[in-house]
Chain A
Amino acid sequence: MEKMRVLLVDDEIEFVSALAERLNLRGFDTATATSGEEALQKVAASPPHVVLLDMLMPGMNGLEVLTRIKRDHPEIKVILLTGRGSWDGIQGIREGAYDCLMKPIQIEELMQIMAGAVEGSKEERPGEGE
């Protein structure tokens, strides 16, 4: 089975590197980006299954990145990360995000949500799992 590709986007390099390694250990194919622009480039180059996207970044913020990704690749599941409370998340979900997690995240919760996201995408697009 193909490894699930995850793109981690956060301006905090220490956070993304550690989380990426943890996801790798759990069998994900992980890529990282530390800004909105870099994230969009990487999505264009190799579209991931799931994007973990921080809402608050310098330059292009999470919501903008989210709308661009959703415009170009509506099939990609975007899970928002926020340190600021659920209001941000609610806005993001309106814009098409799959879910929203409060930082600091709990890895077990993230695993569950990602599993749910992949299930959903399989249901939506049957036969795309080759």
Chain B
Amino acid sequence: MLTWLRRFFGSLRELPDYAESPQRYKVLRRNIIILMLLVTLVPLFLMGLINHYLYQQTMQDEIVKPLKVLVNKTRHSFEVFLAERLSAVSFIASSHTCEELANEQNLSRIFTAMKKEFTGVVDLGFLDPSGVQVSYDGPYKLQGKDYTEQDWYKETRVRGSYISDVFLGYRKLPHIVMAVERSITGAGSCLGCVLRATIDTNRFTEFIASMRLDPSSDAFLLNKSGVFQTPSKFYGQVLETFPLPLPPLSYEPNVLDIKDNHGKEIMLTYVYFESLPFILMVTKPRSLVMQSWYTLKNEALIVFLVGVVVIFLVIFKLVDKVVKRLEESDQRREAAYREMQETSKLASIGRLAAGVAHEINNPLAIINEKAGLIKDLAEFTPDFSQKEKILPLTGAILQSVDRCRTITQRLLGFARRMDVSIQMLSLNEVIEEVLGFLEKEAMHRNVELRLSLAPDLPRIASDRGQLQQVFLNILNNAFDAVQDGGRVTITSFEADVDTVGVTIEDNGQGMSQETMAHIFEPFFTTKKGYGTGLGLSITYGIVKKLGGDIKIKSQLGVGTTFTVFLPKKASALAGE
């Protein structure tokens, strides 16, 4: 990880060499974007996650805790209710003799008193040791019934006291039974008698109702085998079986997130009764429980997403702008560097040319004088026999020397320091002067000269002689390029506040990209045989010296356009 980071930052500092622009800037842009996104988005993500979990925790606590308390309280109510009634039955069983309890009238009196004190008691009955109900008071006709085969009776005989699940019994109505075996020794054959009371399960439903749950929630009591003891809104009626597996045993209120038989996400809060065979359950749809949480989460998510989008946009825009600026400044620097290289190349070539020209000029001078002497001798000697032969020969030699002289002088002209003499001049005038030299050629070759000189072109401070040479060179090239009957157009214009421009356009043969690339290099020529390859490089050197620039556009077979830009005031370079 560390080495990767180091490499990453390294790549920001130093761009790899292979990465030539624009690849180089793409890599740079990508790296900066990645880095900035990492730096901004990673903390944002982390904070979002942490907040998410913290909020979720808090929300859950806030919802779950009251629910747990409620469930616990309700269980307690159930337990107290049943325990009170069981101890009442137990008290009656032990405070009365068997004879008293077996007596219908006595039992009826006791039941009436009991009903007054303890709500929810439906009836009271006394069973002799053989399991037959000998006395009974209540709304059903159950006297004389034999209960030996009923579960609750067996359990009571084993345990001494017992509270049953909800069941139907002889009356065919759901109810629960609590029964106590008389265990007082002595007093005849009373051992094995059982006093039992029936509790109305409607009381249970009232307890559930008192929980005041919202309509989409449900609460109910199950026995330990999952049979409904109170009716449920969504999962079944009394004595039906709970459709879901029972939750693990817990005497403390517990919460489970489960999916119910309808596929609905619910939050199940439950608690097992400690001394009774019941489980109290409350279900709430998760969506309802978490509604406020979801709202909060959605809002947070929207803020987060908007934030991410804004970060993305800002980073992309910003990096794009910065890298573009960088690219531009690099390009400018590179261009300046290239120009400097070009200038120094020209300078060194100039020095070389001067040396070469000088070395050639001396032997050339000797050839010139020797051949001149031969010619003189032939001319000045009155009866020189080979005169007719000698004169053309020496003439040819002298002509060749003259050609060499032209070349070496141009070379030296190229190399020499220019004596720039700046004066205020009209560029239009200079152009017209130069055209004076070329008018004859234009006439002979039927070349059309189109002049479009801006009449209000500002006068500029520059060097008349140098500019004449510049335009003469370019116009010569244009004339060389066009066929007889071709066209050369000259336009002068004000390029901007500080610059004027002259365009020289021909409809000649044009140049290839290859030629254009070398056009200003010394000794580069397309005029095989008669060009020195110096004209345009001298021209370029002069224009640069005067603080201007030359631009070329050319297309093979269509023509070439030279545009010379000159500052209104020749720069400090001039006169260097």
B contact residues vs A (CB 8 Å cutoff) = 354, 357-358, 361-362, 364-370, 372-373, 376-377, 380, 401-402, 405, 409, 412-413, 415-417, 419
Contacts and interface: CB of A to CB of B under 8 A. Distances in A.
B365 A12 contact: yes
Contacts of A18: 366, 369-370, 372-373
Contacts of B413: 85
B406 to A, nearest CB: 11
Contact of A102 (B377, B405, B415): B405
A107 B416 contact: no
Residue among A19, A26, A84, A107 with the highest chain B CB neighbour number at 10 A: A84
A25 B380 contact: yes
Contacts of A84: 354, 357-358, 361, 412
Interface in A75-130: 81, 83-87, 90, 102-107
Contacts of B370: 14, 18
B362 A107 contact: no
Residue among B354, B364, B373, B419 with the highest chain A CB neighbour number at 10 A: B373
B416 A103 contact: no
Nearest to A87: B416
B369 A83 contact: no
**What is the predominant secondary structure among interface residues of chain B facing chain A?**
helix
29 contacts: A14-B366, A15-B362, A15-B369, A18-B370, A21-B373, A22-B372, A25-B380, A26-B376, A56-B358, A81-B365, A83-B358, A83-B361, A83-B365, A84-B354, A85-B409, A85-B413, A86-B412, A86-B416, A90-B419, A102-B409, A103-B364, A103-B365, A103-B368, A104-B364, A104-B368, A104-B369, A105-B368, A106-B402, A107-B372
Contacts of B361: 83-84, 102-104
Contacts of A86: 412, 416
A37 B576 CA distance: 36
Interface of A: 12, 14-15, 18-19, 21-22, 25-26, 56, 81, 83-87, 90, 102-107
Given A25-B380, A87-B417, A104-B367, A12 B372 contact: no
A103 B358 CA distance: 9
Residue among A21, A22, A25, A81 with the highest chain B CB neighbour number at 10 A: A22
A103 B363 CA distance: 9
B474 to A, nearest CB: 23
Contacts of A103: 361-362, 364-365, 368
Nearest to B409: A102
Residue among A84, A85, A102, A105 with the highest chain B CB neighbour number at 10 A: A85
Nearest to B368: A104
B461 to A, nearest CB: 23
A18 B365 CA distance: 10
B354 A85 contact: yes
A26 B377 CA distance: 11
A85 B369 contact: no
Nearest to B401: A104
A124 to B, nearest CB: 28
A16 to B, nearest CB: 9
Give me the 8 closest cross-chain CB pairs, A-B, nearest first: A83-B361, A85-B412, A104-B368, A18-B369, A103-B365, A104-B365, A84-B358, A83-B358
A19 B373 CA distance: 7
A107 B354 CA distance: 24
B364 A85 contact: no
A24 B518 CA distance: 50
